[in-house]
Chains A and B, each alone.
Chain A
């Protein structure tokens, strides 16, 4: 895992990587085909490797993004778990659906740059449109948990994966594009 911490800007919007993390950075840059595979020494690398700051910034924020995502998914999962056991049987469902919707909304508003937000946004729309959550069975909420957890746990979540997950929601009979 890269540290990507000690960086120096050269004024042209490019980043020179410090010697401290150079071997990790060389390996990653080679994987991403940003430097020739022949680069192996610090001397070579400090002359050759130049990465754009955005790639460093992206790496640094990824771990944090996943932690924040997991924080909200836990809350979402708590509501879904309750609904998967009690919906259809209890009038308290409205309380848990409200909590669920609040957390879906909060995440998509605060972290819209995360592809996961697109999924939560689609789920939010599908649940609120004509109050379609009322018609759902307990089994639907179990299926939603099965879709959400792997999505949350995916460190390299992209829009293709999100689209596939949205299709799974559609197959449950929820309309994700009602508006």
Chain B
């Protein structure tokens, strides 16, 4: 089963170079994709309130961020970002590629049951005995790697009221600036949150010397398959209900 992320952030970091500022406003193809923009002369933020996504182009990074996952939109923008990036900075000055996604997997059980399942799966009986078998909430964080890219995965049970503290909406860039509309849009999102969910925050990244456009393209391709697979593997294992017959 594939899950849709609640929020995505795709970031390319590079060495700051002075010539970047000469290129900042020269990217019509990318800028035309967004109906709104904001600049402080040192960076440009391209905004789309309807699609709830934005791109921030700064001296040391380009960041695509979305609060309303849509596979087609995401792929279109990130692909364009990659094809245009060498119009902003030179190849070979990249420092880090990162793709972070936040998921909420709705659960139809009590909070205490979800905590118990997580504790059963991830904590040894000896560890739980240290706390008199009374662990009422827990979070698991691991750092691992797949296909040469690292990832940090954090997961835990989450109640509806906790969600806004962990999934921070980009209100200025993704929500209609008109106050009534903004409140309605925010209410719509908050009310869509499940009463109880398994929260997963995955930061999939590659940080290395000598990163170039080719490695960026490879990173993007791998991330598209690896992130959903990690999420699916973890949730399938955690919520396994049936065993194979002999």
Please report A residues at the B interface, Cβ cutoff 8 Å: 1-6, 59-61, 63-64, 66-68, 70-71, 73-74, 77, 142, 145-146, 149-150, 152-153, 155
| Option from A60, A73, A150, A152 in Cβ contact (under 8 Å) with B108 | A60
Q: Are B241 and A64 interface neighbours, CB within 8 A?
A: no
Given A5-B196, A63-B241, A152-B243, 6 other A-B residues pairs in contact with their CB atoms under 8 A = A64-B114, A68-B113, A71-B117, A71-B240, A149-B245, A149-B246
B218 at the interface (CB under 8 A from A): no
Q: Is the interface of B mostly helix, strand, loop or mixed?
A: loop
* B109 contact from A60, A74, A77, Cβ within 8 A: A60
The chain B residues found within 8 Å of chain A, CB to CB, are 106-110, 113-114, 116-117, 120-121, 194-196, 238-246
Chain B positions within 8 Å of A150 at CB level:
245
A5-B196, A68-B116, A68-B117 are known contacts. Are A63 and B108 too (CB-CB below 8 A)?
yes
What separation, in Å, do the CA atoms of A150 and B246 have in the docked complex? 10
User: Which one of A5, A71, A152 contacts B121 once the chains associate, using CB atoms below 8 Å?
Assistant: A71
Q: Which residues of B contact A59 (CB under 8 A)?
A: 108
- Main SS of chain A's interface residues? helix
Pair A70/B242 contact, Cβ less than 8 Å: yes
Does the CB pair A70–B108 fall under 8 Å?
Answer: no
Q: State how many angstroms separate the Cβ of B114 from the closest Cβ of chain A.
A: 7
User: Nearest 3 A-B pairs (CB), nearest first?
Assistant: A64-B113, A64-B109, A5-B195
- The distance in angstroms between the C-alpha atoms of A77 and B244, with both chains bound, is 11
**Structural contact, A3 and B239, CB atoms closer than 8 A:** no
Max chain A CB contacts within 10 Å: which of B114, B120, B241? B241
B131 → chain A, closest Cβ, in Å?
16
A67 and B240 in contact, given A5-B196, A149-B246, A150-B245 (Cβ under 8 angstroms): yes
